[in-house]
Amino acid sequence: MSHRLHKAIQRWLRAERSGGDARAEKALFRVFDRLPLDGPSTAFVGRVLAGVGFAIPGPQARDLTGLRWRALAAACLILAAGALTFVPSIAQAVWVGLGSGTWLDLGMAAFLGLVAGLVQAVALIGTLIGTLHTVGGAFASPTVLAMMAASAFLSLLAFRILQGLMASQRSTHHA
């Protein structure tokens, strides 16, 4: 503690003892002005809060199982599959076009490769639509809908019971 800070604290304590509220408040502001601007380290704050019973959450790892990450991974796989279907056709078209020396052959081979890739993509989309139709049909059955409704009701009931238990046993450790 610096000498100036120590003197400011002594003046503030004397003003508090004398009962002068305005003087004491001004003296307290001087104490705060003389405090060092550097805050405590995060390790120190963590130790203090852990000693009191609170935990500071550390850096969290990203959850790679979320819906956004799954959608991104699916989009990347679809793009990679699309590239793998077109690259051999384009490479063959370039080879044929450069080997024969005619640009018409090159253009036709590239166009045929593109059409073949589009046909494969449409077939894949048709398969996916058929799969989604089958899965959607299963969810439309009354048995599955009843099971889903019962599961949702039981989940809400369990949540309400747990909320009641937590509220009845709340203390300063449940911050």
Encode pLDDT of 53-80 as tens digits.
Answer: 776 666 666 666 778 888 888 888 888 7
Encode pLDDT of 86-113 as tens digits.
Answer: 777 766 666 665 655 566 666 777 788 8
Encode pLDDT of 129-158 as tens digits.
Answer: 999 888 888 778 888 888 889 999 999 999
Which pTM value belongs to this model? 0.28
Amino acid residing at 169: Q
- Cα pseudo-dihedral 159, 163, 164, 170, rounded to 10: 160
Mean pLDDT of 5-31: 86
Same structural domain for residues 150 and 100? yes
What residue numbers bound the domain in which 36 lies?
3-52
DSSP 40: P
Amino acid residing at 131: T
Same structural domain for residues 149 and 80? yes
Would you say residue 45 has pLDDT above 80? no
Same structural domain for residues 33 and 90? no
Phi–psi pair at 137, nearest 5 degrees? -65, -35
Let me know if residue 84 belongs to a domain: yes
Quick one: pLDDT at residue 106?
A: 67
Distance of CA 166 to the CA centre of its chain: 27
Residue by residue, DSSP assigns 44-104 as HHHHHHHHHT-----PPPP-TTSHHHHHHHHHHHHHHHHHHHHHHHHHHHHHHHHHH--HH
Same structural domain for residues 75 and 122? yes
Let me know if residue 57 belongs to a domain: no
Same structural domain for residues 48 and 72? no
Same structural domain for residues 47 and 128? no
